[in-house]
Structure 1
Amino acid sequence: MGEYNMMITEFPPGYRFMPTDVELIEHYLTKKVHCQLPFSSLSPLFQHIDANEFYNISPDNLVKNMCVDGGEQYFFIHGDKYFGGERGKSRVVGNGIGYWRCLGEEISIYNSEGDVIGLRVNLKYFSESSSKNNWTMQKYRLTCEYDTSDTEIEEWILGRITKGKRNDYSNYF
Structure 2
Amino acid sequence: MANSNVKSAEENTKMDVEIELKNLPAWPPGYYFVPTPVIIFEYLVKRIMGVRLPSDMIKVRDGVQLLDPQQHRFEDEFAHCSDNQAYYISNKAERKADGGGGSKPSTIIKTTSGYWREKKKDIAIYNKDGQIIGYKTRYMFCCANNDDTSWRMDEFTVNPETIPADARDQIKQTIACRIRVKRPKEPEGPYCEDEELEEEYEVDENED
TM-score using structure 1 length: 0.71
Q: Which moved more, 1:57-66 or 1:132-141?
A: 57-66
Q: Look up the match of 2:150.
A: 134
Query: Is 1:165 paired with 2:183?
Result: yes
Of 98, 105, 110, which residue of structure 2 is paired with 1:93? 110
Q: Once structures 1 and 2 are overlaid, which stretch shifts more, 123-132 or 110-119? A: 123-132
1:92 Cα deviation after fit = 4.0
Q: Which of these residues, 90, 93, 98, is aligned with residue 77 of structure 1?
A: 90
Listed as ranges, the matches of 1:20-169 within 5 Å are 20-25=36-41, 27-38=42-53, 41-42=55-56, 45-50=58-63, 54-55=65-66, 57-62=67-72, 63=74, 65-67=76-78, 70-80=83-93, 82=95, 89-95=106-112, 97-128=113-144, 133-145=149-161, 149-150=166-167, 153=170, 155-165=173-183, 169=194
Cα distance change, pair 148–45 in 1 and its aligned pair in 2 (3 A): closer
Between 58-67 and 11-20, the greater mean CA deviation after superposition: 58-67
**Identity across matched positions, percent:** 20
Residue-pair matches, total: 158
- Tell me how large the CA RMSD over aligned residues is: 3.7
Q: Could you say which structure has the higher helix fraction?
A: 2
In 2, the alpha carbon distance for the partners of 1:76 and 1:139 equals: 10
In the superposition, the TM-score normalised over structure 2's length comes to: 0.60
Q: Give, as a single letter, the amino acid of the residue that structure 2 aligns with 1:70.
A: D
- Rg larger in structure: 2
